[in-house]
Homo-oligomer: A and B are copies of this chain.
Amino acid sequence: MKTPAAWRRNRPMWVRNAWYVAAWSHEVADDGLLARTIMNEPLVLYRTGGGTVVAMEDRCCHRLAPLSLGRREGDDLRCMYHGLKFGPDGRCNEIPGQTTIPARAVVRGYPVVERGSWIWVWMGEAARADVSQIPETIAASDPDWNIGMGCLDYAANYQLINDNLLDLSHLAFVHENTLGRGTPQWATEQPIRARLDRGVRFQRRFRGRGPSHYFGKPGERYDMWHSYDFLVPGLFIQRPAWYPLGTAKRCDGKAPAEEPLFVRCDDQAVIPVTDRSSRYFYSAGGRSKDASLELAGEIFRFTEVAFHEDKVIIEAQQKVIDQDPGRQMLSLSMDGGPNLFRGIVRELIAAETSIGGGAEAARAG
């Protein structure tokens, strides 16, 4: 697939100085090596004996073979093509048949943080890695919540998936029989948008909606407070809460202070793999006081059905775009969220590109 001129013109197309989800915690086993690609860079992940996750370039500096076909030796990783051995910091510490190790015998290491059941990798300049940018997400082990965890591979550019999550009006159409059932308001009423430091917050209330698939009694009606943040590089953090009918009116568009009847949770991460492929990590469930493990499993599976509905339309959209990459999208009222977020991404890329340019200039000077 040829990269459309539009993407090439925008290069670099990715925010580098950001935390990217590389895996679920449980995917990085105590032994074993996990190969992942993020922003077209090959990574290998593993755990040291102490349990710390290591992420390094999955490309031996010698002849460019993947280290993920290598062998763990203690906390080191040996390339099984010609036997170079690397420490967790990426420095080569053994070369068969020679005693001196050149300074260039090193593979890139990436800052890694394990938090909330995700392995977060910092893809930019290590010195700028800022742990405070990692949002709070719900861990599988959190006793207050019950969640299911999953992952989908997309044959589409990550921006199309972000766009989808930044405009939930599509729930009324793509998900008319699943997530959007009985709530045409998704399309007819716009949420309130607030720009965050590195993202956008969306808030809205639904008045008198009926029971959903997983909460509520037949015939009863509820108010819902719906709020989510969408953060750089592509994180969707959502905690919808149900209240007794009348709460919305009383609160007049603000978040209710009282205890909700039911809260569900959704943490999602959109990861660019290549120009035309992405990985989508997601959890879904509810407060353990509202949702048993069984009910959380139902919420998760119900949600996963909807994610396949997204996948069908987004991958089809990507194919149509690739037939005529110069074709422009038409901006409508509902596109406020996607447009705002695309602008934030562009600004961050521009800023770090000029930083990078400065750094390179300094190095050269």
Residues of A within 8 A of B (CB): 37, 40-42, 58-59, 61-66, 69, 78-83, 95-98, 102, 104-105, 163, 167, 169-170, 172-174, 176, 187-190, 312-313, 316-317, 319-321, 323-324, 327, 329-330, 332-335
Contacts and interface: CB of A to CB of B under 8 A. Distances in A.
A360 B66 CA distance: 44
Contact of A169 (B42, B82, B189): B82
A97 B167 CA distance: 12
Contacts of A105: 330, 332
A330 B92 CA distance: 12
Interface centre among A41, A81, A327 (most CB of B within 10 A): A81
B317 A63 contact: yes
Contacts of A80: 173-174, 176, 313
A173 B313 contact: no
10 contacts: A37-B323, A59-B327, A63-B163, A78-B173, A80-B174, A81-B170, A81-B317, A82-B167, A97-B332, A98-B333
B169 A69 contact: no
A307 to B, nearest CB: 15
Nearest to A329: B63
Contacts of A82: 167, 169-170, 173, 187, 332, 334
Contact of A187 (B40, B96, B332): B96
B334 A97 contact: yes
B169 A97 contact: yes
